Amino acid sequence: MSVNAVLQQFASSGVETCFHGRHINPQIYADLNGSNWSLSAYEQRGGYQALRKILGMDGGQGLTQDEVIATVKESGLRGRGGAGFPTGLKWSFMPRQFPGQKYLVCNSDEGEPGTCKDRDILMFNPHIVIEGMAIAAYAMGISTGYNYIHGEIFQVYERFEAALEEARAAGYLGQAIMGSSFSFQLHAHHGFGAYICGEETSLLESLEGKKGQPRFKPPFPASFGLYGKPTTINNTETFAAVPWIIRHGGLAYLECGKPNNGGTKIFSVSGDVERPGNYEIPLGTPFSALLDLAGGVSGGRKLKAVIPGGSSSPVLPAHVIMDCTMDYDSISKAGSMLGSGAVIVMDETRCMVESLKRLSYFYMHESCGQCTPCREGTGWLWRLVDRIHRGEGRETDMQLLDNVAESIMGRTICALGDAAAMPVRAMVKHFRPEFEAMIQSAQQAVAV
Amino acid sequence: MISEATRARFDRETAKYPVEQRQSAVMACLSIVQQEFGYVSPESEADIAAYLGIAKMAVHEVTTFYNMYNQAPVGRFKLNVCTNLPCQLRDGQKALHHLEAKLGVSMGETTADGLFTLQQSECLGACADAPVMLVNDRHMCSFMTHEKLNQLVDALRNEGVQP
């Protein structure tokens, strides 16, 4: 047996995370089984009909660029990568009449701890992303695009490259697509291990072949992006939502979710649940229903806390999250962020100091080193939490933790600094007695 | 020196980018040499710099910035176990400790026979598959219980000792 054959035995099949039949009204993950990722299977599911529709290929008039953007605005689609910015509005920022080269970039650098939804989209339904990008490119008058894929999921990158070859051969990508005047070239680019490259300007630097260090904004990518040209960047899942919207209409999409929170959203549920996995459900679904889909808390234990939108989003205690619905507005009102939709569940046995210690180590490790408050501050945060966890905490450490977090927030070029500080502040806010108890027992040990 | 076969792989990557932006292919070229030689040597960096027409330091900056480039030789099988919070909650840390015991090395070390290098890694983006690990940068292994870890190591060792 070859090494590759050995390793293949341990690869994910997608059954546990994606083909479990426990989605609610899925659009992106609908009807997938792991072996129907190819172009012909995608077409049988209605694939590329949205692209054909806007180009007027099936007898219709086609849609103008303005009509496509208006449809996406009407749908209420918001960015699925973390920020939740309205997609149609972002597309309208692109200077369409700008005469030179413009770029479209897909952010598949999925490295926010807790998140693994884009991996399953790209692996099991890659053409939906290609079609969504082609529609976006048409709407914004863009002729070249790149999909930046997380380096750790190399097999997904290879799958996407294979799908690109199919789409080119079938005439869905390339010059004069299906005989129209629209041309669009799309390529895949892989990262190689840097969390920071999920930040859009860092991703652009990386795509240019440099260290992934974020850029000052403004100028924003819409005016100065890849190679200094106007660029629109969206998350994988955002692009994947677009074909459904074009086929069924913006209003139908909006009605799948709730006002201001259109459509379905994929939640990656990880941690202390019976069935970790990706669950595509309408925005506005109660958290308790999502928890049920994931089989409830492991071992029938009680829920302690949930990090609702990836490790950078503030933790919420059980009683708060159980009253939330899973949408941007509800989670925001509860004091956190829907983020990338990565739901990290923690049961009653979990030590929050230990959990925060691991997260703080991560942010220290992944700080790009460009801004002093983040480069130095993330190290301070980790050393403080580590000290408390080791039973060497000092009485002043709680104040110091807060001071260091405060000194990072809002003082860095990109959001990684805030992302490192927010979990600290939220953990301390909601679970302060756990930290204080560890510090007090350390003090008593010293006194003895 | 870059072989003709390697150069063909480089060419395929540079073709994705505008002619004046060949530097964009540096990450792909580095991962190709790592796949072929096991690590990125200063000689490989110089070859890539010459191929792309950029400064050696521009290549070195990339090698050293991204976590997955090996700046020194590693074992035949590089095992990266994720221990980030979502994985830690599902025994990622225990998987790492189990491998330490099984291989008789500490995290960051290579076994004496040169077969295995064991490393902790940050989020691999497969959180629902925890415990999860990456083998030689390109193969994700999912749901790695202690039993499956044993099977994997034994099978790889069996492959590795064959000529």
Per-residue pLDDT reduced to its tens digit, A144-186: 999 999 999 999 999 999 999 999 999 999 999 999 999 999 9
Q: Do B86 and A344 count as a contact with CB atoms less than 8 A apart?
A: yes
| pLDDT above 80: residue A448 | no
Is there a contact between B133 and B93 (Cβ–Cβ < 8 Å)? no
Measured between alpha carbons, how far is A258 from A276 in angstroms, rounded to an integer?
A: 26
Is there a contact between A287 and A346 (Cβ–Cβ < 8 Å)? no
Measured between alpha carbons, how far is A277 from A345 in angstroms, rounded to an integer?
A: 12
If pLDDT is split at 50, 70 and 90, which confidence band does A58 have? confident
Mean pLDDT for all residues in chain A:
96
Q: Is the torsion defined by CA of A247, A250, A252, A254 positive or negative?
A: positive
| pLDDT above 80: residue A276 | yes
Q: Residue A338 carries which side chain, given as an amino acid letter?
A: L
Q: Give percent above pLDDT 90 in chain A.
A: 94
Per-residue pLDDT tens digits for B71-125: 999 999 999 999 999 999 999 999 999 999 999 999 999 999 999 999 999 999 9
Biggest alpha carbon–alpha carbon distance for chain A: 86
- The number of angstroms, rounded, from the C-alpha of A207 to the middle of its chain's C-alpha atoms is 18
For tokens 């899942």, the residue is A237
Q: How far is A107 from chain B (nearest CA, A)?
A: 13
Measured between alpha carbons, how far is A308 from A319 in angstroms, rounded to an integer?
A: 13
- Nearest Cβ partner for A12 among B27, B122, B126: B126
Q: Do B85 and A359 count as a contact with CB atoms less than 8 A apart?
A: yes
Residue A141 DSSP SS3: coil
Q: What is the mean pLDDT of residues A127-133?
A: 98
Measured between alpha carbons, how far is B32 from B11 in angstroms, rounded to an integer?
A: 12
The pTM (predicted TM-score) of the whole model is 0.97
| pLDDT above 80: residue A420 | yes
Which residue in A299, A271, A269, A341 sits closest to A17, CA to CA?
A: A269
Residues of chain A neighbouring B140 (CB-CB closer than 8 A): 11-12, 152-155
Q: Do A192 and B23 count as a contact with CB atoms less than 8 A apart?
A: no
- The number of angstroms, rounded, from the C-alpha of B161 to the middle of its chain's C-alpha atoms is 20
| pLDDT above 70: residue B163 | no
At residue B58, the pLDDT reads 98
Residue A8 token pair: 């293949």
Using CA atoms, how far residue B3 sits from A29, A72, A128, B43, B48, in Å, is 42, 49, 37, 13, 12
At residue A442, the pLDDT reads 80
Q: What is the mean pLDDT of residues A214-221?
A: 96
Residue B46 token pair: 């110089």
Using CA atoms, how far residue A338 sits from A158, A179, A197, A410, B128, in Å, is 30, 41, 20, 20, 18
SS3 of B57-123: the string is HHHHHHHHHCCCCCCCCCCCEEEEEECCHHHHCCCHHHHHHHHHHHHCCCCCCECCCCCEEEEEECC
At residue B83, the pLDDT reads 97
- Nearest Cβ partner for B124 among A2, A4, A152: A152
| pLDDT above 70: residue A52 | yes
- Nearest Cβ partner for B127 among A113, A192, A350: A113
Count each helix (H run) and each strand (E run) in chain A, helices first. 18, 11
Q: How far is A22 from chain B (nearest CA, A)?
A: 15
- Nearest Cβ partner for B65 among A17, A116, A194: A194
SS3 of A166-230: the string is HHHHCCCCECCHHHCCCCEEEEEEECCCCHHHHCHHHHHHHHCCCCCCCCCCCCCCCCCCHHHCC
At residue B162, the pLDDT reads 72
ipTM given for this complex: 0.97
Residue A326 DSSP SS3: strand
Q: How far is B131 from chain A (nearest CA, A)?
A: 11
Per-residue pLDDT tens digits for A183-201: 999 999 999 999 999 999 9
At residue A159, the pLDDT reads 98
At residue B93, the pLDDT reads 96
* Partner A, chain B 77-116, Cβ-Cβ below 8 Å: 77, 83-86, 88-90
If pLDDT is split at 50, 70 and 90, which confidence band does A104 have? very high
Per-residue pLDDT tens digits for A350-401: 999 999 999 999 999 999 999 999 999 999 999 999 999 999 999 999 999 9
If pLDDT is split at 50, 70 and 90, which confidence band does A41 have? very high
Residue of chain A with shortest Cα separation from B20 = A227
Eight-state DSSP code of residue B136: T
Per-residue pLDDT tens digits for B17-62: 999 999 999 999 999 999 999 999 999 999 999 999 999 999 999 9
Using CA atoms, how far residue A225 sits from A191, A348, B37, in Å, is 18, 46, 35
- Nearest Cβ partner for B84 among A113, A345, A346: A113
* Partner A, chain B 9-48, Cβ-Cβ below 8 Å: 16-18, 21, 23-28, 30-31
Among A143, A153, A154, A196, the strongest candidate for a mutation testing the B interface, having the largest count of B CBs within 10 A, is A154
Which residue in B149, B136, B34 sits closest to B97, CA to CA?
A: B149
E strand or H helix that includes residue A284: none
